[in-house]
Chain A
Amino acid sequence: MSRVFKLKSSDNETFEVEEAAALLSETIKSSSSTEITVPNVKAEILGKVVEWCNKHAESEDTKDQLIKEWDAEFVSVDQHVLFKLITAADYLQIKELVDQLTQRVGDMIKAKTLKTVEMTYPTFNVEREVQEELKSLGF
């Protein structure tokens, strides 16, 4: 008799998840309660994470070509959604999902020019040593 877990999003929507899917999350695994609130993650995003877990719980062979194709489609989302998914997967500590999402970001980032990267990943004190640095490296 498998347990049912309840995941609550930041906008108060609840998702019921079967044990097999829920235990893909280390956070849930180490939680004492079956009701977990995921802060800062809205229903839309949490729903997608649950979808991923359900898909991966039901298929045993993760190297299956169909799963790979499904996964590839799953991560082909807008940047905004991608980052929110990363936040959620990271909080829930679903290693494989984090892995797939970060790989996707890595692939997207490879081709980007400096300016675009800066816009996407805002940090502090942007220093413009671009010209000198690139020249000194022979690019």
Chain B
Amino acid sequence: MRRNKCKKSSSSSSSSSSTISSVSYIPEEILIDILARLPAESLLRFRCVSQSWRGLIGSPSFVSKHLNRNVTKLSHTYLIALQRLRDKPALCHSLFSTETFEECLKLRHPLWTEEQFRIYGSSNGLVCISDQVLRPSSPICIWNPCIRKFRTLPQSIFKPHYSSYDISLSFGFHPELNDYRVVTMGWYVRSVIKVQVYSLSTGSWKMIEVIPPWLKFNPDWCQGCAFFNGVAYWLFTKSKKFRFVSFDTDSEEFEEIIVPDTISTKGFTYVGVYNGLVCLFYSYLEGPDCQKPQKYMDIWVLKEQSFTKLHTAVLLPGRDYLPLGFSIQNELIAKDKKHTKGDEGDTGQMVLYDLEMKLIKKTGISLAHDSHYKTSAGTYIESLVLLNR
């Protein structure tokens, strides 16, 4: 099967003739293959080589190919974290190598200083950022830091006259529709809930009109939220019980999923995505006689609308980890909270915990709290998404 675009080798003379004429033209498919292996920074620069390269690199098919290659081969992936620096600014979001844990890029956004934004989701090279404390007027940006392109979302449709007491934000990719979505849920006084969905393809917000009555239970607290495969998930606490809600951004339907009784509000929970499944991370103390309780960590995954326990790990005494996310290799990204004697240097550092093999990797990255005591960390895969939008 011969490809049409292959041009003949231009040189029959010796290779000592000028560089341009002695070089063979490479078939376009091979050129695409070569370019798809490059880091985003190189590709940005090579857009300036010529019009045809510019067109090629910016084309939706190339952007997809480049991203898919990174996802399947796990190349050009990073850890993204809010780190603590010794000099000013004291906090900085940065990208770190997944192998050496060295800082590769500081993330600076024109609308916020380093210390003031929070990352609410990371997907396919895009991160969604906004204020550390969300208000109805908080600006929201979808940003690709490695190509320095961002889209500021239009102001939300709903302009409340009364105060909100909790707004949650989640961001992610909808693979079937090749669309990136932001979902906000705001709880206001007098049991008013406002759910809005932003789609990157349409560039606009949609207010969800139909809210099922069972949803108006006035949660005490939103423990966490996540977005996966076009569906947004929230974990709420209400009267010392958990309530887990999902919202499909296509069908616009809400569903409640029962949280097993063993997951108690006394422990610590975190909502995330583990190995392609929505999961609940749950850590708790347990032990005979409660004399010397041990710290446990469980991962419960959501399969067919119910949670099943996948892994359990017991921590060494004195050790405690705050979960922050999952790495591209499905390790738990966590903050080392306590220290044992002689190990004080590890406090507040990022560790990667392989839950299956029960192995811990220390990264040496010092993690910081933002001004509202939230630490953030996750995974970042390079892509060219947003390049030509």
Interface residues of A (CB under 8 A from B): 40, 78-80, 83-84, 86-87, 90-91, 93, 98, 102-103, 105-106, 109-110, 114, 117-127, 129-130, 133-134, 137-139
Contacts and interface: CB of A to CB of B under 8 A. Distances in A.
Range for the number of chain B residues in contact with chain A: 35 or more
A40 B24 CA distance: 11
A126 B50 contact: yes
Given A133-B48, A134-B48, A84 B19 contact: no
Contacts of A138: 148
A109 B42 contact: yes
B9 A80 contact: no
B6 A106 contact: no
A132 B22 CA distance: 31
Given A124-B50, A126-B49, A129-B48, 7 more contacts: A40-B8, A87-B6, A87-B26, A105-B34, A117-B46, A122-B23, A123-B50
Interface of B: 1-3, 6, 8-9, 15, 19-20, 22-27, 29-31, 33-35, 37-39, 42, 44-54, 147-148
Most interface-central of B1, B39, B48, B53 (chain A CB within 10 A):
B48
Contacts of B26: 83, 86-87, 121
Given A90-B30, A119-B19, A102 B37 contact: yes
Given A86-B26, A105-B34, A123 B9 contact: no
B15 A80 contact: yes
Nearest to B108: A138
A124 B47 CA distance: 14
A123 B42 contact: no
Given A114-B49, A121-B49, A133-B47, A106 B34 contact: yes
Given A80-B23, A83-B26, A124-B50, A98 B33 contact: yes
Contact of B48 (A93, A102, A124, A130): A130
B44 A137 contact: yes
A120 B48 contact: no
A91 B27 CA distance: 10
B51 A80 contact: no
Contacts of A83: 23-24, 26
B143 to A, nearest CB: 13
Contacts of B24: 80, 83-84, 86-87
Given A98-B30, A109-B34, A122 B20 contact: yes
Most interface-central of A83, A119, A124 (chain B CB within 10 A):
A83
Contacts of A121: 23, 26, 31, 49, 53
Contacts of B3: 90
Given A83-B26, A84-B24, A120 B19 contact: yes
B53 A110 contact: no
A102 B33 contact: yes
A114 to B, nearest CB: 6
A13 B26 CA distance: 24
A117 to B, nearest CB: 5
A124 B50 CA distance: 7
A127 B30 contact: no
B22 A80 contact: yes
A86 B26 CA distance: 8
A114 B46 contact: yes
Contact of B49 (A40, A78, A91, A118): A118
A134 B48 CA distance: 9
Nearest to A132: B48
A35 B106 CA distance: 58
